[in-house]
Amino acid sequence: MNEWQIRNRRRAAGQRLGIAVVVIAVLAGAWVWASMPDDLSPGPTAPEGTTSEGTASESTASEGIRPADRAVIDRVIDGDTVDVLLDGAVTRVRLLNIDTPETKRENTPIECLGPEASDFLAALLPVGSTVSLEYDVERADQYGRTLAAVFTSDGQNASVAIAARGLGYSVLFEPNDRYLADVERAETDARNASLGLFDPSVGCNAG
């Protein structure tokens, strides 16, 4: 066998070896892919603003606002203050973002439509009824009263209901403005309709 034949045989052997290596690699890759578990593929990405469980991250807890409490009306003090039974104890609650005429303040005469505001709240929140207390940033005022928006069982915000009847004024207890806009809108509607405190024939000094 001459030198030319030897080189040709070596070249052919090298080509057969290269083809065999490629075939083996392709078969091995196909086997690995087929044996991969299905759950290794990436799942859907949670929308921005949600946790891995899909719960919105803007919950009241993440905002520093305590979730709502369930309570039972024990007594209506006046148009913007009630006593509730909460966790087995009587708790005094000052309604957020509403201010009604005074009826119980010491050394202060009963103000115009104060009794009417108290009667309206007593009818809205009868003793024994279940309410929801929803909170804002600050939970208590300077007198130790709990600051909360009081919602009836059918979802009415008592502060909004009072303002809508013209029996109170919207007020900001800084920084608690979570429900302020709703109360302000209700007060504006009452003013436009000349209801309650805003009725010229009643004779109250409307602000």
Per-residue pLDDT at 90 exceeds 70: yes
pLDDT of residue 134: 97
In this structure, are residues 169 and 113 in contact, taking their beta carbons and an 8 Å threshold?
Answer: no
Report d(CA 107, CA 118) in Å as an integer. Answer: 19
Active site residues: 94, 102, 145
pLDDT of residue 86: 97
pLDDT of residue 183: 98
Beta bridge partners of 89: 86
pTM flag (> 0.85): no
In this structure, are residues 6 and 13 in contact, taking their beta carbons and an 8 Å threshold?
Answer: no
Calculate the average pLDDT of the chain.
80
Helix (H/G/I), strand (E/B), else coil: 50: strand
Phi, psi of 103, deg, nearest 5: -135, -20
Tens-place pLDDT, residues 11-58? 555 556 555 544 455 555 555 455 555 544 444 444 443 333 333 333
pLDDT: which is higher, 61 or 87: 87
Total Cβ atoms within 10 A of residue 202: 15
- pLDDT grade for 137, boundaries at 50, 70 and 90: very high
- pLDDT grade for 203, boundaries at 50, 70 and 90: confident
pLDDT of residue 13: 53
pLDDT of residue 98: 98
pLDDT of residue 124: 98
Which CATH architecture is the domain 69-198 placed in?
Answer: Beta Barrel (2.40)
Report d(CA 150, CA 95) in Å as an integer. Answer: 6
Tens-place pLDDT, residues 166-192? 999 999 989 999 999 999 999 999 999
Tens-place pLDDT, residues 103-134? 877 777 889 999 999 999 999 999 999 999 99
